[in-house]
A and B are shown apart, each in its own frame.
Chain A
């Protein structure tokens, strides 16, 4: 059976030491190790080389691209069109799942991959979501391995820990990722994070960085920003959890710090000190309506079905329980510091123009 996958042989079944067959195998293994030592994965310029950014046309991606393109060659990959694109950014308007993505890695000497193209659209079909997020990212990681890209940065999210009543107040990077327990749409994002984690161990030559920022506020279109942009903000009656927020430009800076050579691992990213949700709403001057939780859950589920809202009902847990992170590691190892204070971070959701 020549094609059967080879099972690991127990040592008792190996040829005895000194046997020619065993010698040959050992030599082969040593040669393989030597050749991998000889081909340095960092043949490209890790500091100034080309950066491939997926999901570049998102609001965060465009901000990152605008900051990066003056220093390094930037290649964008996104299904969407990059309007008002700086001329020196190369943009490929393609689907990451397509074969053409491989050409980008094959031709350019890519120094880093920044994966921002994570789809989180609870309205989208499960299948599309899954193949885009998991299969698409798996493909990208394959190319990274194949073409010796020395750096991968994944923008995951602190939401993968999940808001739960039994959460520690500040979750460290090694906390379990339990978000999918109550909110099954999150399982792609958890899986994505896990995929990057296993890649970290599988390929030590590549520096894999996973960033898990808390609620990003700004002109970005994500649930926390949209929530704070509502005219009259519904709250859960009797619940007022502490929340952490971070300004979009602080996240961009964290991504740029993660691109530095030598940085690897998982980093929680948070902004200023946490504050109670009600304080955040008061300082934004929003009128709030307290809604009892059972009513809110059922009402939101119905509104969701009738397409009256962009918030699925399980997201209510984010304004019910704490889901905050301990970002000491990113502040110590990454050298990250937030630049925007809490007032600036909160009011960023009302900014009109994104650059």
Chain B
């Protein structure tokens, strides 16, 4: 940090801050003069490389889309959750690699997603939850205008360094009802997996069979009068073959599940199998009633959504010719 002659050398109010020792001062000087500029240069280089890569991979359309998104957030006066369209852009580049080249996703019915606030309800699968990122990439690259999907994350994700910052910059928020309400009020599309973590680690024998749905999303939809778009994700169940979950190991590790995936033991096969993804967006559904109704009443409405997704899955599976093509 060079000394600015215009800046007073006296810092008021820091009288109760003892001057650190000489060694510490030297260390901070080193940090300010050498380490930080170097880090900045490295970072700048990385950003430029990523920019070039994105342009080559996704074409000039991509820049238009991220500009549209930035314009949208500037129009609404920024996002209080700290979304940064420029960082989100790079997250989309990473997701787009899987979306376009690895899984070659075919997207059906994305025009069914209405403008303004909407809840996307999808089946959760794939041992490693890549499905959320793929839905996000589809909404960014294939929807018109591009939308930035918001999702709710577990609170422990916020305690992890880098992960916490990344999630905030790409628009993922801590999963508490107040935040969901605020996002919908802002007119954002919100992605919810009502199966929760237990949907992710279904064994191969139970593939494409929906587990129990949570009721929270329905109460939220009724309360805020938000349309629900059911989404069926096909292809994720075969990316990692799960032979079964070991309950005691999961309990011992404090993990949500402990799937046995033999392909993870093969060197170089840690990547998901390149199955072909199919995303089916259903028609928007609207529900009315009392958001604080009995569980039994809400359950009936949730059942309607669940059955819609299940039949979309069944139809999509019947139409699918091959897992990989």
Give the chain A neighbours of B32 by CB distance below 8 A. Answer: 232, 287
Interface residue count for B (Cβ, 8 Å)? Answer: 39
Chain A residue contacts of B28, Cβ below 8 A = 231-232, 287, 289
Interface residues in A262-316 by Cβ distance below 8 A to B read: 273-276, 287-289, 292-293, 307-310
List chain B residues, Cβ under 8 A from A239. 161, 164-165
User: Is B322 an interface residue when CB atoms closer than 8 A count as contact?
Assistant: no
B80 touches A236 (CB 8 A): no
Is A229 located at the chain interface by the 8 A CB criterion?
Answer: yes
Instruction: For B178, list chain A residues within 8 Å (CB).
Output: 168-170, 172
A219 in contact with B155 given A238-B161, A287-B1 (CB within 8 Å): no
The CA-CA distance from A307 to B163 in the complex, in Å, is 33
Q: Does A93 contact B (CB under 8 A)?
A: no
> Chain B's interface: helix, strand, loop or mixed, by majority?
loop
Name A215-235 residues within 8 Å CB distance of B: 219-221, 225-226, 229-232
Is B190 on the interface with A (CB-CB < 8 A)? no
Contact A169 B13 (CB under 8 A): no
Interface residue from A172, A230, A288, A352 paired with B14 (Cβ < 8 Å): A230
Q: Mark B130-169, 1 if CB is under 8 A from A, else 0.
A: 0000000000000000000000000110111111110010
Write the A159-201 contact mask toward B (1 if CB under 8 angstroms, else 0): 0000001111110100000000000000000000000000000
Answer yes or no: A240 CB below 8 A from chain B CBs: yes
Residue of A nearest to B14 (CB): A229
Chain A residues whose CB sits within 8 angstroms of the CB of B20 once the complex forms: 308
Task: Please determine whether B16 and A310 come into contact, CB atoms closer than 8 angstroms.
Answer: yes
B8 within 8 Å of A (CB atoms): yes
Interface residues of B in 156-196 (CB under 8 A from A): 156, 158-165, 168, 173-174, 176, 178-179, 182
Known: A232-B32, A310-B16. A242 touches B82 (CB 8 A): yes
Kindly list chain B residues whose C-beta atoms are within 8 Å of the C-beta of A310. 16-17
Choose among B13, B14, B162, B178 the residue with the greatest number of A CB atoms under 10 Å from its CB. B13
Q: Are A226 and B12 in contact (CB under 8 A)?
A: no
Name the contact of A307 in the complex, choosing from B13, B18, B156 (C-beta under 8 A): B18
Contact A237 B161 (CB under 8 A): yes
Question: Which residues of A lie under 8 Å from residue B80 when comparing CB positions?
Answer: 169-170, 242, 273-274
B161 touches A169 (CB 8 A): no
Complex partner residue of B179 from A169, A172, A221, CB under 8 angstroms: A169
The answer to whether B325 has its CB under 8 Å from any CB of chain A is: no
Report B62-87 CB contacts with A as 1/0, cut-off 8 Å. 00000000000000011011100000
The residues of B that contact A221 with a CB separation of less than 8 Å are 13, 15-16
Q: Decide if B158 touches A321 in the complex (CB within 8 Å).
A: yes
Q: Which residue of B lies closest to A218 (CB)?
A: B13
In addition to A167-B174, A289-B28, 8 A-B residue pairs with Cβ atoms within 8 Å of each other are A166-B155, A167-B176, A168-B178, A170-B182, A231-B28, A238-B160, A239-B165, A287-B31
Partner-A contacts on B (CB < 8 A): 1, 8, 10-18, 20-21, 28, 31-32, 36, 77-78, 80-82, 155-156, 158-165, 168, 173-174, 176, 178-179, 182
Q: Which residues of A contact B (CB under 8 A)?
A: 165-170, 172, 219-221, 225-226, 229-232, 236-242, 273-276, 287-289, 292-293, 307-310, 321, 349-352
Can you spell out 28 A-B residue pairs with CB atoms less than 8 angstroms apart?
A: A165-B156, A166-B176, A167-B176, A168-B174, A169-B173, A169-B179, A169-B182, A219-B13, A221-B13, A226-B14, A226-B16, A226-B17, A229-B13, A230-B14, A230-B17, A231-B11, A232-B31, A237-B161, A239-B161, A239-B164, A276-B168, A288-B36, A292-B161, A293-B161, A308-B20, A310-B16, A350-B11, A352-B12
What are the 8 A-B residue pairs with the smallest beta carbon separation, nearest first? A238-B161, A168-B178, A238-B162, A165-B158, A232-B28, A166-B155, A287-B32, A242-B82
